[in-house]
Amino acid sequence: MRLALKVPAPQLWRPEDPKLYSAELVLRDRGTLQQVERRRVGLRSVEVKRGRLLLNNREIRLAGASIHEDMPGRGAALTAPDMDRIVADLKELGANVTRAHYLLNDRLLARLDRAGIMVWNQAPIWQRDRRNNILREGLQRRRAWETVRRTVIAARSHPSVITHSVANELWSRPDDRPGVTRRYLETAARDARDLDPTLPISVDINGRPYHPEQFTYHAFDMLGINQYFGWYSWVSDFSLLPLFLQEMRDLYPRHALVMTEFGAEARPELANAPVGVKGSYAFQSFHLDRTLDAADAAPISGAIYWTLREFEIFPGWAGGAGRRPPPYQPNTRHQKGLLTYEGEKKPAWFRARDRFMATPLYP
């Protein structure tokens, strides 16, 4: 059931002034009180027009960093101070947006509402059509679609949420897999839009050059581009990045395009290595600068660094900078973070802060 309410002279939610209203919903059954819900809600519009992302009918440019719900000693069991720390770190960095690979804790989303930090909301459907390709199975597709529906329903009342992404890094040519990837994506996009027609619907894709136009992507309003040009071996030539971004704009002129992932590991055993060494602190700073230069010059709606803080990962993670020597094996730390796992600032954090602080929200 949907209903409409008139709000005279509404105060709109904006990152620079995140106005919130108090709302109370009372459910009665034949006069008997059944349930009362109290929420803080915000009024805003998010649209894609002519390939640009608009908030409250003004074009915006995203600049920020992704997060993981992982803090030392507690992992994903975040306390209230942990959530406050995450939000404070994003604010200090100058981020106007954040992203995660899954639905964020509702209490953390509420804090982001109050802080005016936008959220790229994403269902945790990651690479499920690769390797074992579990999306081939009908049961797995149904589970994935249900995950998308739950993710949208849980996040749609938060004004900080500006899009719902239905997947992360599925097969990069979905048109070639009509019965699996294309079918999943088109159904997921339709379900997400039905559940929240107020927001653009998106999908996060692997950035690879020279792919033909994928008609599957026309089911979406926004494309998140995860790209690691100049970092991983499969896109080792960084000089192709500007051409690739222009190629994406030419192929999808009506979509809003956002660089949703980029980054480079910066590891403690290589902290003082020269800039030409992948894994060094100097290379991370250099790579951040050259990538943001390319993003700033491209016809896209901003960039989100991966990630704000280091997090724990499966043992043996190499990260793109080669195997670690003893005693750093087996490694269990993902080290693309601008902050160490303990929260210390790497040199790239300061470069990111300066760049984000200088990026106007309204270009």
Tell me which of 176 and 9 has the higher pLDDT.
176
Tens of pLDDT, residue by residue over 271-313, are 999 999 999 999 999 999 999 999 999 999 999 999 999 999 9
Tokens 């980054």 belong to residue = 263
Tens of pLDDT, residue by residue over 36-53, are 988 899 999 999 999 999
Considering the segment(s) 46-357 as one domain, its CATH architecture is Alpha-Beta Barrel (3.20)
d(CA 288, CA 281): 11
- For the chain, the domains span 46-357
Q: In a 3-state reduction of DSSP, which class is residue 253?
A: coil
d(CA 210, CA 123): 27
Residue 326 CB partners (closer than 8 Å, separation 6+): none
Q: Which of 16, 95, 7 lies closest to 43 in space, CA to CA?
A: 7
Looking at the chain, the whole-number percentage of residues with pLDDT higher than 90 is 87
State residue 1's pLDDT score: 65
Q: Which of 246, 247, 190, 242 lies closest to 214 in space, CA to CA?
A: 247
d(CA 9, CA 7): 6
d(CA 127, CA 108): 26
Query: What is the Cα Rg of the chain in Å?
Result: 21
| pLDDT higher than threshold 90 for residue 250 | yes
Contact 345, 337 (CB under 8 A): no
Note if the bond before 253 is cis, omega within 30 degrees.
no
Tens of pLDDT, residue by residue over 311-349, are 999 888 888 888 887 777 778 899 999 999 999 999 999
Tell me which of 145 and 7 has the higher pLDDT.
145
State residue 32's pLDDT score: 93
d(CA 244, CA 253): 14
State residue 5's pLDDT score: 80
Looking at the chain, the whole-number percentage of residues with pLDDT higher than 70 is 100
The verdict on pTM exceeding 0.85 is: yes
State residue 3's pLDDT score: 73
Q: In a 3-state reduction of DSSP, which class is residue 329?
A: coil
